Amino acid sequence: MNTQTDLIPNKTISKGVAVPTKRAHVTIQNLCKDFAGITLYKNFNLDIKKGKIVSVFGPNGCGKSTLINMVAGLMKMDAGQVLFDGKTLEQTKIGYVFQNYRDALFPWMTAWDNIAYPLKRMGMNKEQVKSRVEELINLFEIKFSLNQYPYELSGGQQQTTSIMRALACEPEVLFLDEPFSALDFEMTLFIREKLQETNIKTGVTMVIVSHDLEDAVFLADQILLLTRRPTQIAALLDFNMARPRRAESVSEVEFIKIKAQALEIFKREMHKAI
């Protein structure tokens, strides 16, 4: 399978042979993680190219959330190293969109204040904050009032607010853990399109965990398929369909083909004995 052009496992995909990488943005090296004596990751290696969208897909409990949490610095690794353009996490601006947006927003702040929060923390003055929030309002074509509190917003509006907050500081890398899992179909289409637009306009690298294969494929430049634990890379599929992809793109032959290929690999992993 020739799938190693952009997102390159720097050791593990075939016979442990290291593949030299170019223009890697996120470099994961020899990452190890055990939980209660059970090995989740052992010497896991992966490079993610700058500006790409990588969808992470794999069996339940294989460690998708744990992987992005460790890379984003929300969870400690037991061993290994993650670099961003050669820099450490502390030297890098990242954004993170939590799966449970209801708990992720500050309930005592309006949507506007939630989005402005990281900008104020960065030391921006009032005018700068206002101008950045307005940019995001335009990008996301916000029609609802951001003067409302999270509990006054629909699920889709809350998730939109969380994504705007995560993008506010113009991160180099945006991590999203199942961003569509609690959204209805209409909102899923909207958010999917906005994430794609953001990637095209800003070139932010995105790592998206999704349990919906269609969402994963729709957004991906690469689909990262994981094995069961101890988790390794089952396959890396490049998907070069032209952008912007539209809702109708999912019915096109090249879309159906890559989805079928990913499904086959996923099913193979699912049926392996634990």
Ligand X SMILES: Nc1ncnc2c1ncn2[C@@H]1O[C@H](COP(=O)(O)OP(=O)(O)OP(=O)(O)O)[C@@H](O)[C@H]1O
Q: Which residues bind ligand X (CB under 6 A)?
A: 35-36, 40, 60-66, 211
> What is the Cβ-side half-sphere exposure of residue 242, based on CA atoms within 13 angstroms?
3
Torsion angle in degrees (nearest 10) through CA of 3, 66, 80, 90: 100
Alpha carbon distance 92, 183 (integer Å): 30
CB closest to Mg ion, residue no: 65
Cβ atoms of residues 195 and 163 within 8 Å: yes
DSSP string over 129-152: HHHHHHHHHHHTT--S-TTS-GGG
Contact string (CB under 5 A) for Mg ion, positions 171-210, x = contact: ----------------------------------------
Identity of the residue, 77 or 116, whose beta carbon is nearer to ligand X in the bound complex:
77
Identity of the residue, 38 or 253, whose beta carbon is nearer to ligand X in the bound complex:
38
C-alpha distance across the termini of the chain, in Å: 25
Cβ atoms of residues 153 and 165 within 8 Å: no
Q: Respond yes or no on whether the N-terminal peptide bond of residue 230 is cis (omega within 30° of 0).
A: yes
Identity of the residue, 50 or 211, whose beta carbon is nearer to ligand X in the bound complex:
211
By CB under 5 A, the residues from 64 to 123 that bind Mg ion are 64-65
Q: Which does 66 bind (CB under 5 to 8 A by kind): ligand X, Mg ion, none?
A: ligand X
Identity of the residue, 164 or 183, whose beta carbon is nearer to ligand X in the bound complex:
183
Identity of the residue, 93 or 211, whose beta carbon is nearer to ligand X in the bound complex:
211
Q: How far is the CB of 151 from ligand X (least distance, A)?
A: 26
Q: How far is the CB of 51 from Mg ion (least distance, A)?
A: 25
DSSP secondary structure code for residue 269 in this structure: H
Alpha carbon distance 88, 43 (integer Å): 19
Identity of the residue, 59 or 150, whose beta carbon is nearer to ligand X in the bound complex:
59
Which listed range, 25-33, 60-68, 136-144, 188-196, lies at the site for Mg ion (CB under 5 A)?
Answer: 60-68
Q: How far is the CB of 76 from ligand X (least distance, A)?
A: 10
Q: How far is the CB of 65 from Mg ion (least distance, A)?
A: 3
Q: Respond yes or no on whether the N-terminal peptide bond of residue 150 is cis (omega within 30° of 0).
A: no
Q: Under the rule (CB under 5 A), what is the footprint of Mg ion?
A: 64-65
